[in-house]
Amino acid sequence: MSGVSDFVVVANRLPVDRTDTGWGTSPGGLVAALAPVLRARSGSWVGWPGEAGARIEPFTSEGIDLHPVYLDECDFQNFYEGMANSTLWPLYHDLIVAPRYDNLWWEAYRDVNERFAHATAAAAARNAVVWVQDYQLQLVPGILRRLRPDLTVGFFLHIPFPSPDLFRQLPWRNEVMEGFAGADLVGFQRAEDERNYRALVGDAGPRTGAFPISIDPAAIPRGGQGDVEKLRASLGNPVTMMLGVDRLDYTKGILHRLLAVENLLEKGLLSDVAVVQLAIPSRERIDQYKQTRREVEEAVGRINGRFGRVGSPVVHYLHRAVPKRDLGALYTAADVMLVTPFKDGMNLVAKEYVSCHPDGDGALVLSEFAGAAAELRDAYLCNPFDVSSIEQAIIDAVAGDPARMRAMHRWVAQHDVARWAACFLDEL
């Protein structure tokens, strides 16, 4: 065995993106949390480099050995867009849209998981620790158990684990359970996810735990006073600035929060408000994502048509990502943050917003169905399936109590992503 690394992270994506001159580290929380561990333990990362059909040799980026896994266009369609994001994603988010069950997708999923497991086995030294991430790679722990019984394998699920009744719909449920069973430790975001899983396996199966993921507070710089003033001036100095930041995904409840704002405007319960909504393009070739985009953009147009004025729309909508620095300024400037998913494993945006508000200003409207709601109890909680509940939470948030934001800020400052990674790895 020509293994080299004592610690291997396995994730769908490598933590790098192609730049004009080579590769640059992509600024995710996971890489921020794991980079110190990876460097200290001669670690490596196994994942897809983000280019279908490109064979890329292993390389090193910022002190981390990267092992690219090859996916062709067909794998991308059947494994990633198909099984991962049109079957597992909707099933695990409680059927907000109907999952499709397709044998061809399943076979691609199995093949790609095999490929990831073999690449991992080749990268891992004897008795190495391997940490597999997320729903795209649920079979990898089971395959590794067979290939390399010497390894210690952890698995973390970033998205919710559904109730047993829903999970049992999956035609390949036994194979997925065998995949989990190959791990020494399976981590979930919330105790509820862990309970759902345990209800299926009883006392059998691997050790489990709830490890709520968090953020690297340093990665999102707060906006300075000048930036914030400039930003608010560019919005026409509204009395109230609200903000939404999401991947454009049907799980995030973007339309419903816009409907709540529209209702409040109509009833005259909200005035002089500017809403900034960033919708980061995501999984754009999947029909349900196209439909979600159409619905959101139609609502933005309608609301601005009804309540905007020339030169000052109500909703400022961007369908693109912005640099982290701009994101920090938006978080800092916003009086009310709107986080209204129908279901979300955690939701890091909620924690990033809180992290930008150490002094008690700002208020968070948060769905009960986001994992973050288990920790951020001082948010203005709402049920996103009930638009009037979002309306009420917005009204309460506008009159927000600074003590609540300060309490949440203390919590997030103490429970960062480094602590999350350390908790999981210590347990492993």
Binding site for ligand GDG (CB under 6 A): 29, 158-159, 213, 245, 247, 278, 280, 321-322, 324, 327, 344-349, 352
Nearer to ligand GDG by Cβ, of 182 and 212: the residue is 212
Nearer to ligand GDG by Cβ, of 125 and 159: the residue is 159
Nearer to ligand GDG by Cβ, of 195 and 302: the residue is 195
Closest contact distance (angstroms) between CB of 61 and ligand GDG is: 18
Which position has the token pair 């990665």? Answer: 219
Closest contact distance (angstroms) between CB of 199 and ligand GDG is: 21
Nearer to ligand GDG by Cβ, of 11 and 123: the residue is 11
Closest contact distance (angstroms) between CB of 26 and ligand GDG is: 9
Nearer to ligand GDG by Cβ, of 125 and 186: the residue is 186
Closest contact distance (angstroms) between CB of 421 and ligand GDG is: 12
Nearer to ligand GDG by Cβ, of 398 and 421: the residue is 421
Closest contact distance (angstroms) between CB of 25 and ligand GDG is: 13
Sign of the dihedral defined by the CA atoms of residues 383, 405, 374, 223, in that order: positive
Nearer to ligand GDG by Cβ, of 139 and 159: the residue is 159
Closest contact distance (angstroms) between CB of 272 and ligand GDG is: 26
The radius of gyration of the chain's CA atoms, rounded to the nearest angstrom, is 22
Q: Which two tokens stand for residue 75?
A: 């794998």
Closest contact distance (angstroms) between CB of 273 and ligand GDG is: 22
Does residue 380 sit in helix, strand or coil? strand
Tell me how far apart the alpha carbons of residues 224 and 28 are, in angstroms, rounded to a whole number: 23
The 10 Å CB-count burial string (b at 16+, else e) for 192-205 is: ebbebbbebeeeee
Closest contact distance (angstroms) between CB of 349 and ligand GDG is: 4
β-strand 5-13 against 44-48: which pairing, if any? parallel
Cβ atoms within 10 Å of 293's Cβ, excluding its own: 19
Closest contact distance (angstroms) between CB of 24 and ligand GDG is: 13
State how far Cα 419 lies from the chain centre.
18
Does residue 234 sit in helix, strand or coil? helix
What Cα–Cα distance (Å) separates residue 407 from each residue in 14, 360, 379?
Answer: 35, 8, 10
Helical segments of 217-347, H only? 225-234, 254-266, 287-307, 324-333
Terminal CA-CA length for the chain: 24
Nearest CA to 361 among 413, 404, 422, 318?
404
DSSP notation for 249-269: -GGG-HHHHHHHHHHHHHTTS
Nearer to ligand GDG by Cβ, of 52 and 321: the residue is 321
Q: Which two tokens stand for residue 42?
A: 């001669």
Nearer to ligand GDG by Cβ, of 29 and 384: the residue is 29
With beta carbons less than 8 A apart as the criterion, state whether 335 and 242 touch.
Answer: yes
